[in-house]
């Protein structure tokens, strides 16, 4: 597999992933959500990202305490 074939296949997979094609996110991108819907999404997403970054740090073996000052 060439690098360009890999990139093409990866792009196709990403573009069809449910996280990208979800109807809620499509409505968000189109500006069709109410202020409360955006607030609810943002407040939940904030916590998800915070935990996800901690998870990635643990999986990769890097933590804040491992970094040089």
Tell me: pLDDT of 69 over 60: no
Can you give the pLDDT at residue 67? 57
Can you give the pLDDT at residue 68? 53
Whose tokens are 């109807």? That residue is: 23
H or E element, residue 30: none
Tens digit of each residue's pLDDT (9 = 90 or more) over 10-66 = 999 999 998 888 999 999 999 999 999 999 999 998 888 888 888 888 888 766 655
Beta strands in the chain (DSSP E): none
Can you give the pLDDT at residue 11? 94
In order of 25, 26, 66, the CA distances from 31 in angstroms are 10, 9, 42
The DSSP secondary-structure symbol of 31 reads T
Q: Where are the domains of the chain?
A: 1-30, 34-61
HSE of 41 in the Cβ direction (CA atoms, 13 Å)? Answer: 11
Can you give the pLDDT at residue 14? 92
């Amino acid at each position: 597999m060439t690098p360009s074939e890999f990139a093409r296949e990866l792009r196709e997979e990403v573009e069809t992933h449910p996280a990208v094609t979800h109807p809620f996110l499509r409505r968000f991108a189109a500006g069709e959500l109410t202020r409360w819907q955006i607030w609810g999404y943002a407040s939940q997403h904030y916590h998800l990202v915070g935990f996800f970054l901690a998870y990635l740090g643990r999986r990769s073996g890097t933590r804040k305490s491992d970094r040089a000052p």
